[in-house]
Amino acid sequence: MIKATLVPILQDNYAWLLHDEESGCRAIVDPAEVDPVVRAIDAAIGSGGGKLDLNLLTHHHSDHIAGTDAIRERYGARVVGAKADAHRLPSLDRQVSEGSEVDLGAATARVFETPGHTRGHVSYYFPDGPGGGGVLLCGDTLFSLGCGRLLEGTPAEMFNSLARFAALPGETLVCCGHEYTESNARFALHVDPGNADLRAYAERVKELRAKGLPTLPSRLSDELECNPFLRAGDVATLADLRSRKDRF
């Protein structure tokens, strides 16, 4: 079973430290800043043994990859990232694409190509997580109550990427790359004011943020009830929401 722990880095990014409890193997996802990531890894290794095995990269933006080479050098952890973006990622020890499987000890992640935010964005899905659901590392494709900006992709690509996530079990933990939930909630309430589930979720988010606590990981079932981008029924609706959010 994979346990995912967030590591706050930079302004509002999260790296994710993954631990396969059976084997003791660990991975770090999107290590964009060295010091806080090293502290988190050393604390985890110190208390539980084991080592860092993998760096998993979701996409090429510097606020996701900047610490990769330093982390590889320090721990000898292999770097995994999208074949399609190998030319603009740190040098990859393993190139992955749609359908690739990545082993972390006894656990195996499936790789989804999830373009929209960037052309070569990939997400990693471990089916075996806590609480009977999986663990989804979705970078800047899906956020809690939002989705990534369409910097390189089309609305249709983002729609298809989100549809992949929507088909996963509701208990799946959504481990995304930014703490944007509170500002996303303002837009979500603006476009879907009658959604009682969303209003309750936004309240919980507000309370967590007031205490300085993270809102992630979120549960996919909550996103399916509350996230307007995940709930968009067709490409045109998603395109309209995304362009309104860009101007909100």
- Catalytic residue annotation: 59, 61, 63-64, 117, 140, 178
Between 61 and 245, name the residue whose CB sits nearer to Zn ion.
Answer: 61
Largest CA distance in the chain: 51
Give the shortest CB-22-to-Zn ion separation in angstroms.
32
CB of 122 to Zn ion, least distance (A): 12
Rounded (5°) CA angle 203-230-120: 120
Residue 140 or 223: the one with the smaller Cβ distance to Zn ion is 140
C-alpha 217/C-alpha 236 separation (Å) is 28
Give the gyration radius of the chain's Cα atoms.
17
Residue 92 DSSP class = P
Nearer to Zn ion, 33 or 140 (CB): 140
Least distance (Å) between residue 150 CB and Zn ion = 11
Map residue 137 onto helix, strand or coil: strand
User: 64: part of which helix (H) or strand (E)?
Assistant: helix 62-65
Task: Name the residues that contact Zn ion, by CB under 5 A.
Answer: 61, 140
